[in-house]
Every structure is written in C-alpha cells, then in structure tokens.
Amino acid sequence: MTFVVTLIVTLLLIAIPFPSAMALVLPHFGVLFVVWWALMRNYRLSMTLLMLASIPMDVAYGTALGLHALIFALLAYLLTLLGPRVRQVNWLRQSVVVFLVLLLAAAASYWGRTLTGQDPEFLLLVVQALCTALAWAPMRLLFEWLAHLTGEPEVRTS
C-alpha cells in the first residue's frame, strides 16, 4: 500500500507542468522515490517492484523504456549497501551521500542516453544530481509522512 501511494505521489510530482526553463534545476522525483525506498525501507523492496515502478517513470519523462530501470537498479544496489550507516547520520550528511551516489547514477544515465541516440551534457546531469540531493531532506519527510498515513512501521534514524 505504501509503495503504491508513494509511487502515485511521485508520478504526480513528475507530471506537474513546470516551465521548460526550470527543467534544468528540477529535482528528479523518481530518483528520490527510489533513494527513500532503498535507504529507509529496503527490506520491503524487491527488484520486480523496482522494475515495474521504472516503466511509468520512463513514460512520464519520455525517455526510452529501460533507462530508469537501469538507474534504479544501480541506485538500489549502492544505497542498500550503504543503507545501515547512512540512516544513522543527519540529513545534511545523508544529502552528501545521496549526491555522490547520484553522480554514479548520472554516469549510468549518460551512458544509457547516449546509447539511445540522445546527446546529453554530463554537466547538466551533475547539476540535476545536485538539485535532487538538495531536495532529499524535504522529500524524505514527505515520504515518511505518507508511510505514516498508510500505517507503515517507522524506521529509527538519527
């Protein structure tokens, strides 16, 4: 239930029509969704759910099907390994770790996009990773609130 609710809220955030000039500084809400699940509730997440969640993200962003599955799998792998330690530090340090992990995801995204014929600028992907990491703290609170609403047991953090 929590998974579906957080996914729908994430899709709503992605679907909000922002001005095109803002696209460069918008956080990647889909990535934050995976970051929250992989860091905070990884014991409830499965690869199948992750792959299924990536499909509407690809459709909503207009990217090739499979691009977000690749990014999500890499993020989930890295954050699940780091999870227990990252959960214990404050939100600022968490944001730094999220940024570093997102840089690796940006590299995967760059590779995947090049493979599909796009010509992305890596620097813009880095800017997007930074904006996404900055949005981690408020998005974490939002997802925690949604988890609380749906009766998901809380995880102890710092």
Kindly write out the interface string for residues 61-90 of this chain, putting x where it contacts other proteins by CB under 8 A and - elsewhere: xxxxxxx-xx--xx-xx--xx---------
Q: Which C-beta is closer to other proteins: that of 65 or that of 90?
A: 65
Q: Which C-beta is closer to other proteins: that of 19 or that of 153?
A: 19
Is 150 one of the binding residues for other proteins (CB under 8 A)? no
Determine the distance from the C-alpha atom of residue 43 to the mean position of all C-alpha atoms in its chain, rounded to a whole number: 17
Q: Which C-beta is closer to other proteins: that of 8 or that of 141?
A: 8
Is 100 one of the binding residues for other proteins (CB under 8 A)? no
CA-derived radius of gyration, the chain? 15
CB of 66 to other proteins, least distance (A): 3
Q: Which C-beta is closer to other proteins: that of 96 or that of 120?
A: 120
CB of 34 to other proteins, least distance (A): 11
Q: How far apart are CA 86 and CA 157, in angstroms?
A: 9
CB of 107 to other proteins, least distance (A): 13
Q: How many chain residues touch other proteins (CB under 8 A)? A: 55
Q: Hey, is 158 helix, strand or coil? A: coil
- The pairs formed by 79-86 with CB atoms below 8 angstroms and a separation of 24 or more are 79/34, 79/35, 79/38, 79/39, 79/42, 80/38, 80/42, 82/39, 83/38, 83/39, 83/42, 86/39
